[in-house]
Structure 1
Amino acid sequence: MSFFVSLSGLRNASTDLEVISNNIANAESVGFKKSNAQFADLVSGSSATDPRKTPGIGATVSAISQDFALGQLEQTGRALDVAINGDGFIATNDAISGEVSFTRNGNLQLVANGELQDAFGNPVQGFPLDATGTPTSFTPSDITVPTTNAGGAALSSVGIDLRGVLSAVYTDGSVDPISQVALATFPSTGGLNPIGLTKWEATAESGPPEFGQPGVGNFGQIRSGSLERSNVDLAEEMVALLGAQRNFQANARAIDTATAFTQTILNLQR
Protein backbone atom coordinates (compact mmCIF):
# COMPACT_ATOMS: atom_id res chain seq x y z
CA MET A 1 0.00 0.00 0.00
CA SER A 2 2.87 2.39 0.80
CA PHE A 3 3.91 2.29 -2.89
CA PHE A 4 0.52 3.64 -3.99
CA VAL A 5 0.49 6.28 -1.22
CA SER A 6 3.89 7.60 -2.28
CA LEU A 7 2.91 7.37 -5.95
CA SER A 8 -0.07 9.65 -5.30
CA GLY A 9 2.33 12.06 -3.63
CA LEU A 10 4.61 11.98 -6.68
CA ARG A 11 1.68 12.69 -8.98
CA ASN A 12 0.55 15.61 -6.83
CA ALA A 13 4.05 17.06 -6.67
CA SER A 14 4.29 16.72 -10.45
CA THR A 15 0.97 18.56 -10.87
CA ASP A 16 2.17 21.28 -8.49
CA LEU A 17 5.36 21.65 -10.52
CA GLU A 18 3.34 21.95 -13.74
CA VAL A 19 1.14 24.71 -12.27
CA ILE A 20 4.12 26.64 -10.89
CA SER A 21 6.06 26.23 -14.15
CA ASN A 22 3.08 27.60 -16.11
CA ASN A 23 2.92 30.60 -13.78
CA ILE A 24 6.63 31.31 -14.25
CA ALA A 25 6.42 30.85 -18.03
CA ASN A 26 3.65 33.48 -18.18
CA ALA A 27 5.24 36.02 -15.85
CA GLU A 28 5.46 38.47 -18.77
CA SER A 29 2.11 37.61 -20.43
CA VAL A 30 -0.15 40.68 -20.41
CA GLY A 31 -3.29 40.13 -18.33
CA PHE A 32 -2.26 36.62 -17.19
CA LYS A 33 -3.67 35.31 -13.90
CA LYS A 34 -1.70 32.78 -11.88
CA SER A 35 -3.10 29.47 -10.62
CA ASN A 36 -2.60 27.48 -7.42
CA ALA A 37 -2.85 23.72 -7.00
CA GLN A 38 -4.82 22.52 -3.97
CA PHE A 39 -4.71 19.02 -2.52
CA ALA A 40 -6.80 16.78 -0.25
CA ASP A 41 -6.11 13.56 1.61
CA LEU A 42 -7.62 10.19 0.80
CA VAL A 43 -8.76 8.05 3.73
CA SER A 44 -9.29 4.28 3.57
CA GLY A 45 -12.12 3.57 5.92
CA SER A 46 -15.81 3.92 6.72
CA SER A 47 -18.03 4.94 9.61
CA ALA A 48 -17.33 1.53 11.18
CA THR A 49 -13.54 1.94 10.95
CA ASP A 50 -11.56 2.71 14.11
CA PRO A 51 -10.19 6.25 13.45
CA ARG A 52 -7.15 5.40 15.57
CA LYS A 53 -6.17 2.70 13.06
CA THR A 54 -6.78 4.49 9.75
CA PRO A 55 -3.47 5.22 8.00
CA GLY A 56 -4.93 6.83 4.87
CA ILE A 57 -4.20 5.96 1.25
CA GLY A 58 -2.54 9.10 -0.05
CA ALA A 59 -3.60 12.42 -1.52
CA THR A 60 -5.26 13.82 -4.62
CA VAL A 61 -5.62 17.13 -6.45
CA SER A 62 -8.80 18.78 -5.14
CA ALA A 63 -8.67 21.87 -7.37
CA ILE A 64 -6.48 24.13 -9.46
CA SER A 65 -7.81 27.57 -8.58
CA GLN A 66 -7.17 30.81 -10.46
CA ASP A 67 -6.09 33.99 -8.69
CA PHE A 68 -7.76 37.02 -10.32
CA ALA A 69 -5.98 39.61 -8.16
CA LEU A 70 -5.11 42.80 -10.04
CA GLY A 71 -1.66 42.88 -11.62
CA GLN A 72 0.50 45.99 -11.82
CA LEU A 73 -0.60 48.62 -14.33
CA GLU A 74 2.33 49.54 -16.56
CA GLN A 75 2.27 52.73 -18.59
CA THR A 76 3.01 52.33 -22.29
CA GLY A 77 1.92 55.71 -23.64
CA ARG A 78 0.04 54.07 -26.51
CA ALA A 79 -3.54 55.35 -26.83
CA LEU A 80 -5.03 51.95 -27.69
CA ASP A 81 -3.36 50.14 -24.80
CA VAL A 82 -5.96 49.92 -22.03
CA ALA A 83 -5.97 48.40 -18.56
CA ILE A 84 -8.93 47.78 -16.28
CA ASN A 85 -8.37 49.31 -12.84
CA GLY A 86 -10.77 47.07 -10.95
CA ASP A 87 -13.20 44.29 -11.83
CA GLY A 88 -14.28 43.29 -15.30
CA PHE A 89 -13.14 41.72 -18.53
CA ILE A 90 -12.99 43.05 -22.07
CA ALA A 91 -15.31 41.03 -24.31
CA THR A 92 -14.08 39.93 -27.74
CA ASN A 93 -15.88 38.12 -30.53
CA ASP A 94 -13.94 35.22 -32.06
CA ALA A 95 -13.51 36.04 -35.75
CA ILE A 96 -13.91 32.38 -36.78
CA SER A 97 -16.31 30.67 -34.36
CA GLY A 98 -18.33 33.73 -33.36
CA GLU A 99 -17.97 32.75 -29.69
CA VAL A 100 -17.48 35.54 -27.16
CA SER A 101 -14.40 35.27 -24.95
CA PHE A 102 -13.11 37.51 -22.17
CA THR A 103 -9.69 38.96 -21.47
CA ARG A 104 -7.73 41.40 -19.31
CA ASN A 105 -5.23 41.97 -22.13
CA GLY A 106 -6.01 45.48 -23.37
CA ASN A 107 -3.45 45.60 -26.18
CA LEU A 108 -5.94 46.80 -28.82
CA GLN A 109 -5.49 47.81 -32.44
CA LEU A 110 -7.45 49.62 -35.13
CA VAL A 111 -7.37 47.90 -38.53
CA ALA A 112 -7.81 49.47 -41.98
CA ASN A 113 -11.60 49.15 -42.09
CA GLY A 114 -11.93 50.90 -38.71
CA GLU A 115 -12.65 47.78 -36.66
CA LEU A 116 -11.23 47.73 -33.12
CA GLN A 117 -9.59 44.37 -32.44
CA ASP A 118 -7.60 42.71 -29.70
CA ALA A 119 -3.97 41.62 -30.18
CA PHE A 120 -5.14 38.40 -31.87
CA GLY A 121 -7.48 39.92 -34.46
CA ASN A 122 -10.79 39.46 -32.64
CA PRO A 123 -13.33 42.33 -32.64
CA VAL A 124 -13.76 44.14 -29.32
CA GLN A 125 -17.31 44.49 -28.00
CA GLY A 126 -18.86 47.82 -26.99
CA PHE A 127 -22.08 49.76 -26.50
CA PRO A 128 -23.22 52.08 -29.34
CA LEU A 129 -23.41 55.80 -28.47
CA ASP A 130 -25.41 58.77 -29.69
CA ALA A 131 -23.87 62.15 -30.58
CA THR A 132 -23.76 63.15 -26.90
CA GLY A 133 -21.86 60.02 -25.84
CA THR A 134 -24.87 58.33 -24.21
CA PRO A 135 -25.31 54.57 -24.79
CA THR A 136 -28.28 53.77 -27.03
CA SER A 137 -28.17 50.06 -26.19
CA PHE A 138 -26.57 47.83 -23.58
CA THR A 139 -26.30 44.86 -25.92
CA PRO A 140 -22.60 44.62 -26.88
CA SER A 141 -21.60 44.59 -30.55
CA ASP A 142 -18.39 44.92 -32.57
CA ILE A 143 -16.75 48.35 -32.35
CA THR A 144 -16.11 49.95 -35.73
CA VAL A 145 -14.77 53.49 -36.13
CA PRO A 146 -15.86 55.30 -39.34
CA THR A 147 -12.76 56.16 -41.37
CA THR A 148 -14.45 59.38 -42.54
CA ASN A 149 -17.06 61.55 -40.82
CA ALA A 150 -20.27 63.02 -42.22
CA GLY A 151 -18.35 65.95 -43.68
CA GLY A 152 -15.93 63.67 -45.53
CA ALA A 153 -12.96 64.40 -43.25
CA ALA A 154 -10.54 61.50 -42.76
CA LEU A 155 -9.90 59.80 -39.43
CA SER A 156 -6.90 61.32 -37.67
CA SER A 157 -6.68 59.53 -34.31
CA VAL A 158 -8.72 57.81 -31.60
CA GLY A 159 -8.75 57.96 -27.81
CA ILE A 160 -10.38 56.12 -24.91
CA ASP A 161 -11.29 57.83 -21.63
CA LEU A 162 -11.80 56.52 -18.07
CA ARG A 163 -15.40 55.55 -18.87
CA GLY A 164 -14.24 53.47 -21.83
CA VAL A 165 -15.72 55.92 -24.37
CA LEU A 166 -13.84 55.66 -27.65
CA SER A 167 -13.79 58.97 -29.50
CA ALA A 168 -12.61 59.57 -33.06
CA VAL A 169 -10.75 62.72 -34.07
CA TYR A 170 -11.00 63.76 -37.73
CA THR A 171 -8.83 66.01 -39.86
CA ASP A 172 -11.41 68.82 -39.78
CA GLY A 173 -10.98 69.02 -35.98
CA SER A 174 -14.28 67.36 -35.08
CA VAL A 175 -14.41 64.78 -32.27
CA ASP A 176 -17.15 62.14 -32.39
CA PRO A 177 -17.97 59.59 -29.63
CA ILE A 178 -18.19 56.21 -31.36
CA SER A 179 -18.64 53.47 -28.80
CA GLN A 180 -18.11 52.57 -25.15
CA VAL A 181 -15.99 49.53 -24.33
CA ALA A 182 -18.23 46.93 -22.69
CA LEU A 183 -16.96 45.21 -19.55
CA ALA A 184 -18.20 41.87 -18.25
CA THR A 185 -18.28 40.42 -14.75
CA PHE A 186 -19.42 36.99 -13.55
CA PRO A 187 -21.24 35.63 -10.49
CA SER A 188 -18.26 33.29 -9.90
CA THR A 189 -15.05 34.42 -11.60
CA GLY A 190 -13.22 31.31 -10.39
CA GLY A 191 -15.47 29.18 -12.61
CA LEU A 192 -14.19 30.75 -15.85
CA ASN A 193 -12.46 28.34 -18.23
CA PRO A 194 -9.01 29.48 -19.45
CA ILE A 195 -8.73 28.88 -23.21
CA GLY A 196 -5.24 30.28 -23.85
CA LEU A 197 -3.97 33.63 -25.18
CA THR A 198 -4.90 35.07 -21.73
CA LYS A 199 -8.59 34.56 -22.50
CA TRP A 200 -11.43 32.89 -20.67
CA GLU A 201 -14.86 31.61 -21.60
CA ALA A 202 -18.01 31.44 -19.48
CA THR A 203 -19.10 28.10 -18.01
CA ALA A 204 -22.00 26.82 -15.94
CA GLU A 205 -19.82 27.31 -12.85
CA SER A 206 -18.95 30.93 -13.65
CA GLY A 207 -22.48 31.86 -14.63
CA PRO A 208 -23.40 34.06 -17.61
CA PRO A 209 -21.61 37.37 -18.21
CA GLU A 210 -23.12 40.55 -16.81
CA PHE A 211 -22.23 43.50 -19.04
CA GLY A 212 -21.82 47.04 -17.79
CA GLN A 213 -20.13 50.40 -18.24
CA PRO A 214 -16.57 51.05 -17.03
CA GLY A 215 -16.48 53.02 -13.79
CA VAL A 216 -20.12 52.28 -12.93
CA GLY A 217 -20.97 50.06 -9.96
CA ASN A 218 -18.51 47.20 -9.55
CA PHE A 219 -16.96 47.71 -12.98
CA GLY A 220 -13.41 49.06 -13.00
CA GLN A 221 -12.27 52.20 -14.80
CA ILE A 222 -10.38 52.10 -18.08
CA ARG A 223 -6.79 53.34 -17.94
CA SER A 224 -5.71 54.36 -21.44
CA GLY A 225 -2.00 54.20 -22.25
CA SER A 226 -1.44 51.32 -19.81
CA LEU A 227 -1.43 47.52 -19.75
CA GLU A 228 -2.01 45.14 -16.84
CA ARG A 229 1.00 42.96 -16.18
CA SER A 230 0.75 39.35 -15.03
CA ASN A 231 -0.01 38.98 -11.32
CA VAL A 232 2.72 36.33 -10.98
CA ASP A 233 5.26 37.10 -8.21
CA LEU A 234 8.47 35.37 -9.34
CA ALA A 235 9.99 35.34 -5.86
CA GLU A 236 6.89 33.65 -4.46
CA GLU A 237 6.84 31.13 -7.31
CA MET A 238 10.52 30.23 -6.78
CA VAL A 239 9.84 29.47 -3.11
CA ALA A 240 6.84 27.34 -4.10
CA LEU A 241 8.99 25.60 -6.72
CA LEU A 242 11.53 24.58 -4.07
CA GLY A 243 8.73 23.26 -1.85
CA ALA A 244 7.26 21.18 -4.70
CA GLN A 245 10.70 19.83 -5.56
CA ARG A 246 11.33 18.77 -1.93
CA ASN A 247 7.89 17.15 -1.83
CA PHE A 248 8.67 15.18 -4.99
CA GLN A 249 12.05 14.06 -3.61
CA ALA A 250 10.53 13.00 -0.28
CA ASN A 251 7.89 10.85 -1.96
CA ALA A 252 10.51 9.29 -4.23
CA ARG A 253 12.59 8.51 -1.13
CA ALA A 254 9.56 6.90 0.52
CA ILE A 255 9.20 4.59 -2.49
CA ASP A 256 12.89 3.68 -2.23
CA THR A 257 12.43 2.89 1.47
CA ALA A 258 9.34 0.76 0.81
CA THR A 259 11.25 -1.10 -1.89
CA ALA A 260 14.08 -1.81 0.57
CA PHE A 261 11.60 -3.12 3.16
CA THR A 262 9.97 -5.38 0.59
CA GLN A 263 13.34 -6.72 -0.55
CA THR A 264 14.34 -7.45 3.04
CA ILE A 265 11.10 -9.38 3.65
CA LEU A 266 11.62 -11.40 0.47
CA ASN A 267 15.17 -12.26 1.52
CA LEU A 268 13.93 -13.48 4.92
CA GLN A 269 11.50 -15.88 3.18
CA ARG A 270 14.26 -17.64 1.25
Structure 2
Amino acid sequence: MTSFYTSLNGLKNSQTDLGTIAHNIANAETTGFKKSSVEFADLVANGSAANPRMSQGLGATVAGVNQNFGLGAIEQTGRNLDIAIDGDGFFATRNPESGQVLFTRNGNFQMDGAGALTDFKGKALQVFEIDAAGNVLNPGATIDAVIPLTNGAGADLASVSIEGNGLIYGSYTDGTSEPIARVALASFAAPTGLRSVGSTNWEATGFSGTPAFEVPANGRNGQLLSGMLEKSNVDLAEEMVGLITAQRNFQANAKAIDTATQFSQTIINLRT
Protein backbone atom coordinates (compact mmCIF):
# COMPACT_ATOMS: atom_id res chain seq x y z
CA MET A 1 0.00 0.00 0.00
CA THR A 2 2.98 2.29 0.47
CA SER A 3 3.25 2.66 -3.29
CA PHE A 4 -0.11 4.49 -3.38
CA TYR A 5 1.11 7.27 -1.08
CA THR A 6 4.56 7.39 -2.69
CA SER A 7 2.97 7.98 -6.10
CA LEU A 8 0.44 10.39 -4.59
CA ASN A 9 3.35 12.51 -3.33
CA GLY A 10 4.73 12.41 -6.86
CA LEU A 11 1.41 13.59 -8.29
CA LYS A 12 1.23 16.50 -5.84
CA ASN A 13 4.80 17.50 -6.60
CA SER A 14 4.21 17.37 -10.35
CA GLN A 15 1.10 19.49 -9.86
CA THR A 16 3.17 22.08 -7.96
CA ASP A 17 5.77 22.03 -10.74
CA LEU A 18 3.08 22.46 -13.41
CA GLY A 19 1.52 25.34 -11.50
CA THR A 20 4.86 27.12 -11.15
CA ILE A 21 5.70 26.71 -14.83
CA ALA A 22 2.21 27.91 -15.81
CA HIS A 23 2.72 31.00 -13.64
CA ASN A 24 6.03 31.70 -15.38
CA ILE A 25 4.49 31.34 -18.83
CA ALA A 26 1.52 33.54 -17.90
CA ASN A 27 3.96 36.33 -16.91
CA ALA A 28 6.30 36.02 -19.88
CA GLU A 29 5.39 39.59 -20.92
CA THR A 30 5.10 41.10 -17.42
CA THR A 31 7.56 43.96 -16.87
CA GLY A 32 10.04 43.22 -14.10
CA PHE A 33 8.77 39.66 -13.50
CA LYS A 34 11.22 37.04 -12.20
CA LYS A 35 10.65 33.36 -12.91
CA SER A 36 10.57 30.62 -10.27
CA SER A 37 11.53 26.95 -10.20
CA VAL A 38 10.57 24.10 -7.88
CA GLU A 39 13.20 22.15 -5.95
CA PHE A 40 12.40 18.62 -4.74
CA ALA A 41 13.83 16.42 -1.99
CA ASP A 42 13.46 12.68 -1.42
CA LEU A 43 11.68 11.10 1.57
CA VAL A 44 13.22 8.07 3.25
CA ALA A 45 11.85 5.99 6.13
CA ASN A 46 14.83 5.00 8.25
CA GLY A 47 16.03 4.69 11.81
CA SER A 48 19.33 4.46 13.67
CA ALA A 49 19.00 0.67 13.98
CA ALA A 50 17.86 0.10 10.39
CA ASN A 51 20.00 -1.67 7.85
CA PRO A 52 21.18 1.07 5.44
CA ARG A 53 21.04 -1.44 2.58
CA MET A 54 17.33 -2.00 3.25
CA SER A 55 16.18 1.62 3.40
CA GLN A 56 13.02 2.23 1.42
CA GLY A 57 12.11 5.52 -0.18
CA LEU A 58 8.70 7.10 0.34
CA GLY A 59 8.70 9.45 -2.62
CA ALA A 60 9.55 13.14 -2.79
CA THR A 61 8.48 16.44 -1.32
CA VAL A 62 8.74 20.09 -2.38
CA ALA A 63 11.89 21.48 -0.76
CA GLY A 64 11.26 25.02 -1.98
CA VAL A 65 10.19 27.31 -4.79
CA ASN A 66 13.25 29.35 -5.75
CA GLN A 67 13.11 32.74 -7.46
CA ASN A 68 15.54 33.55 -10.26
CA PHE A 69 16.57 37.22 -10.21
CA GLY A 70 18.60 37.04 -13.40
CA LEU A 71 18.44 40.10 -15.64
CA GLY A 72 15.60 40.15 -18.15
CA ALA A 73 15.66 41.64 -21.65
CA ILE A 74 15.85 45.45 -21.80
CA GLU A 75 13.22 47.09 -23.99
CA GLN A 76 13.55 50.67 -25.21
CA THR A 77 10.43 52.78 -24.68
CA GLY A 78 11.72 56.32 -25.19
CA ARG A 79 9.71 57.54 -22.18
CA ASN A 80 11.71 59.69 -19.71
CA LEU A 81 10.18 58.18 -16.58
CA ASP A 82 10.77 54.57 -17.65
CA ILE A 83 13.99 53.33 -16.08
CA ALA A 84 15.66 49.91 -16.03
CA ILE A 85 18.42 48.65 -13.75
CA ASP A 86 21.37 47.27 -15.70
CA GLY A 87 22.56 44.90 -12.98
CA ASP A 88 21.61 44.18 -9.38
CA GLY A 89 19.36 46.22 -7.13
CA PHE A 90 15.69 47.05 -6.60
CA PHE A 91 13.63 50.22 -6.75
CA ALA A 92 11.98 50.99 -3.41
CA THR A 93 8.41 52.33 -3.25
CA ARG A 94 6.47 53.49 -0.18
CA ASN A 95 2.73 53.21 0.38
CA PRO A 96 1.70 56.73 1.53
CA GLU A 97 -1.17 55.35 3.62
CA SER A 98 0.46 52.42 5.46
CA GLY A 99 4.10 53.46 5.16
CA GLN A 100 5.00 49.96 3.92
CA VAL A 101 8.08 49.87 1.69
CA LEU A 102 8.11 47.36 -1.17
CA PHE A 103 10.79 46.53 -3.73
CA THR A 104 10.46 46.07 -7.47
CA ARG A 105 12.38 45.78 -10.74
CA ASN A 106 9.55 47.46 -12.65
CA GLY A 107 10.77 50.97 -13.43
CA ASN A 108 7.55 52.24 -15.01
CA PHE A 109 6.94 55.46 -13.06
CA GLN A 110 4.73 58.47 -13.59
CA MET A 111 4.26 61.91 -12.07
CA ASP A 112 0.99 62.92 -10.41
CA GLY A 113 -0.57 66.39 -10.21
CA ALA A 114 1.50 67.28 -7.14
CA GLY A 115 4.80 66.33 -8.79
CA ALA A 116 5.25 63.03 -6.92
CA LEU A 117 6.92 60.18 -8.80
CA THR A 118 4.90 57.01 -8.22
CA ASP A 119 4.32 53.55 -9.62
CA PHE A 120 1.01 52.63 -11.28
CA LYS A 121 -0.57 51.94 -7.85
CA GLY A 122 0.40 55.30 -6.38
CA LYS A 123 3.34 54.15 -4.23
CA ALA A 124 6.06 56.80 -4.01
CA LEU A 125 9.51 56.13 -5.48
CA GLN A 126 12.21 56.39 -2.81
CA VAL A 127 15.13 58.73 -3.43
CA PHE A 128 18.03 60.37 -1.59
CA GLU A 129 17.95 64.06 -0.71
CA ILE A 130 20.80 65.95 -2.41
CA ASP A 131 22.51 69.33 -2.32
CA ALA A 132 22.82 71.76 -5.22
CA ALA A 133 25.86 69.84 -6.53
CA GLY A 134 23.99 66.53 -6.58
CA ASN A 135 25.71 65.03 -3.53
CA VAL A 136 23.66 62.81 -1.21
CA LEU A 137 22.98 64.50 2.12
CA ASN A 138 21.69 61.58 4.22
CA PRO A 139 22.99 58.27 2.78
CA GLY A 140 21.06 56.12 5.27
CA ALA A 141 17.65 57.76 4.79
CA THR A 142 15.30 57.86 1.81
CA ILE A 143 12.43 60.21 1.05
CA ASP A 144 9.49 60.28 -1.38
CA ALA A 145 10.40 61.59 -4.82
CA VAL A 146 8.64 64.92 -5.49
CA ILE A 147 9.48 67.17 -8.45
CA PRO A 148 8.87 70.91 -7.85
CA LEU A 149 6.34 72.10 -10.42
CA THR A 150 7.95 75.58 -10.46
CA ASN A 151 11.52 76.69 -9.80
CA GLY A 152 12.77 79.55 -7.65
CA ALA A 153 12.20 82.01 -10.51
CA GLY A 154 8.57 80.94 -10.89
CA ALA A 155 9.09 79.09 -14.20
CA ASP A 156 6.91 76.03 -14.81
CA LEU A 157 8.26 72.49 -15.06
CA ALA A 158 8.84 71.45 -18.66
CA SER A 159 10.29 67.93 -18.38
CA VAL A 160 11.99 65.43 -16.08
CA SER A 161 15.05 63.35 -16.89
CA ILE A 162 16.91 60.63 -14.98
CA GLU A 163 20.63 59.98 -15.42
CA GLY A 164 22.44 56.65 -15.25
CA ASN A 165 23.82 57.52 -11.79
CA GLY A 166 20.29 58.12 -10.49
CA LEU A 167 20.27 61.93 -10.58
CA ILE A 168 16.80 63.31 -11.33
CA TYR A 169 16.77 66.63 -13.18
CA GLY A 170 13.89 69.02 -13.62
CA SER A 171 13.92 71.26 -16.70
CA TYR A 172 11.88 74.48 -16.59
CA THR A 173 10.39 76.82 -19.15
CA ASP A 174 13.00 79.50 -18.48
CA GLY A 175 15.68 77.17 -19.86
CA THR A 176 17.18 76.15 -16.52
CA SER A 177 17.76 72.58 -15.32
CA GLU A 178 18.12 71.66 -11.63
CA PRO A 179 19.08 68.41 -9.81
CA ILE A 180 16.11 67.38 -7.68
CA ALA A 181 17.05 64.08 -6.00
CA ARG A 182 18.89 60.83 -6.59
CA VAL A 183 17.21 57.45 -7.04
CA ALA A 184 17.89 55.03 -4.17
CA LEU A 185 18.43 51.36 -5.03
CA ALA A 186 18.10 48.60 -2.45
CA SER A 187 20.25 45.49 -2.30
CA PHE A 188 19.91 42.38 -0.12
CA ALA A 189 22.33 39.80 1.22
CA ALA A 190 19.95 37.04 0.06
CA PRO A 191 17.45 38.35 -2.53
CA THR A 192 15.98 34.85 -3.01
CA GLY A 193 14.60 35.24 0.51
CA LEU A 194 12.32 38.12 -0.55
CA ARG A 195 8.59 37.42 -0.34
CA SER A 196 6.61 38.04 -3.51
CA VAL A 197 3.44 40.07 -2.84
CA GLY A 198 2.17 40.41 -6.42
CA SER A 199 2.32 43.16 -9.05
CA THR A 200 6.08 42.41 -9.40
CA ASN A 201 6.65 43.66 -5.85
CA TRP A 202 8.59 41.99 -3.05
CA GLU A 203 8.91 42.65 0.66
CA ALA A 204 11.89 42.04 2.92
CA THR A 205 11.89 39.03 5.25
CA GLY A 206 14.23 37.53 7.82
CA PHE A 207 15.56 35.26 5.07
CA SER A 208 16.46 38.15 2.75
CA GLY A 209 17.94 40.44 5.40
CA THR A 210 17.36 44.17 5.68
CA PRO A 211 17.77 46.38 2.60
CA ALA A 212 20.96 48.36 2.10
CA PHE A 213 20.29 51.57 0.15
CA GLU A 214 22.89 52.92 -2.26
CA VAL A 215 22.97 55.14 -5.33
CA PRO A 216 22.96 53.43 -8.75
CA ALA A 217 26.27 52.27 -10.26
CA ASN A 218 27.77 51.94 -6.78
CA GLY A 219 28.58 48.79 -4.80
CA ARG A 220 26.45 45.87 -5.99
CA ASN A 221 23.90 48.10 -7.71
CA GLY A 222 23.76 48.48 -11.47
CA GLN A 223 23.40 51.75 -13.33
CA LEU A 224 20.07 53.07 -14.58
CA LEU A 225 18.98 53.05 -18.22
CA SER A 226 16.57 55.88 -18.88
CA GLY A 227 13.81 55.43 -21.44
CA MET A 228 13.92 51.64 -21.04
CA LEU A 229 12.17 48.88 -19.10
CA GLU A 230 13.31 45.44 -17.98
CA LYS A 231 11.05 42.70 -19.31
CA SER A 232 10.37 39.31 -17.76
CA ASN A 233 13.32 36.91 -17.55
CA VAL A 234 11.12 33.96 -18.58
CA ASP A 235 12.51 31.88 -21.47
CA LEU A 236 9.44 30.40 -23.17
CA ALA A 237 11.39 27.61 -24.91
CA GLU A 238 12.88 26.52 -21.58
CA GLU A 239 9.48 26.67 -19.86
CA MET A 240 7.84 24.57 -22.59
CA VAL A 241 10.46 21.86 -22.15
CA GLY A 242 9.88 21.99 -18.39
CA LEU A 243 6.14 21.79 -18.97
CA ILE A 244 6.50 18.61 -21.05
CA THR A 245 8.80 17.07 -18.42
CA ALA A 246 6.39 17.88 -15.58
CA GLN A 247 3.50 16.44 -17.59
CA ARG A 248 5.43 13.21 -18.19
CA ASN A 249 6.24 12.96 -14.48
CA PHE A 250 2.57 13.40 -13.64
CA GLN A 251 1.57 10.68 -16.11
CA ALA A 252 4.24 8.30 -14.80
CA ASN A 253 3.06 8.69 -11.20
CA ALA A 254 -0.55 8.21 -12.27
CA LYS A 255 0.49 5.03 -14.09
CA ALA A 256 2.27 3.80 -10.94
CA ILE A 257 -0.97 4.24 -8.95
CA ASP A 258 -2.88 2.36 -11.66
CA THR A 259 -0.37 -0.51 -11.51
CA ALA A 260 -0.56 -0.63 -7.70
CA THR A 261 -4.36 -0.78 -8.00
CA GLN A 262 -4.11 -3.78 -10.31
CA PHE A 263 -1.80 -5.56 -7.85
CA SER A 264 -4.20 -4.88 -4.98
CA GLN A 265 -7.15 -6.08 -7.01
CA THR A 266 -5.31 -9.31 -7.86
CA ILE A 267 -4.59 -9.95 -4.18
CA ILE A 268 -8.21 -9.22 -3.16
CA ASN A 269 -9.50 -11.63 -5.81
CA LEU A 270 -7.29 -14.55 -4.65
CA ARG A 271 -9.26 -17.67 -3.77
CA THR A 272 -8.10 -20.29 -1.34
Please report the TM-score for the alignment, with normalisation by the length of structure 2: 0.98
Equivalent residue, structure 1, for 2:48: 47
Q: How does 1:71-150 map to 2 (within 5 A)?
A: 71-138=72-139, 139-150=141-152
Amino acid at match of 1:198: T
Equivalent residue, structure 2, for 1:250: 252
> SS in structure 2 opposite 1:268?
coil
Offset of residue 51 of structure 1: 2.0
Offset of residue 47 of structure 1: 2.2
> SS in structure 2 opposite 1:77?
coil
Q: How does 1:153-232 map to 2 (within 5 A)?
A: 153-232=155-234
Offset of residue 119 of structure 1: 2.1
Looking at structure 1, the residues matched to 163 and 201 of structure 2 have their Cα atoms a distance apart, in angstroms, of 23
Offset of residue 267 of structure 1: 0.2
CA deviations over 1:134-190 (Å, ceiling 9, x no partner): 111121110100100111000000000000111000000110100101000001111
RMSD: 0.9
Amino acid at match of 2:183: V
Structure 2 unaligned regions, length at least 5: none
> SS in structure 1 opposite 2:24?
helix
Equivalent residue, structure 2, for 1:234: 236
Equivalent residue, structure 1, for 2:59: 58
Please report the TM-score for the alignment, with normalisation by the length of structure 1: 0.98
Query: 4+ residue stretches of structure 1 with deviation over 6 A?
Result: none
Equivalent residue, structure 1, for 2:23: 22
Offset of residue 269 of structure 1: 4.3
> SS in structure 1 opposite 2:137?
coil
Identity of aligned residues (%): 55
> SS in structure 2 opposite 1:43?
strand
Please say which of residues 114-123 and 203-212 is displaced more in the overlay: 114-123
Looking at structure 1, the residues matched to 45 and 188 of structure 2 have their Cα atoms a distance apart, in angstroms, of 38
Contact 2:84 2:230 in 1 (8 A): yes
Contact 2:46 2:56 in 1 (8 A): no
CA deviations over 1:221-242 (Å, ceiling 9, x no partner): 0000000010000000000000
> SS in structure 2 opposite 1:126?
strand
- Shift of the 174–89 alpha-carbon distance from structure 1 to 2, 3 Å rule, reads same
Please say which of residues 9-18 and 131-140 is displaced more in the overlay: 131-140
> SS in structure 1 opposite 2:17?
helix
Please say which of residues 52-61 and 194-203 is displaced more in the overlay: 52-61
What is the aligned length? 270
Contact 2:125 2:144 in 1 (8 A): yes
Offset of residue 52 of structure 1: 1.9
Amino acid at match of 1:255: I
> SS in structure 2 opposite 1:217?
coil
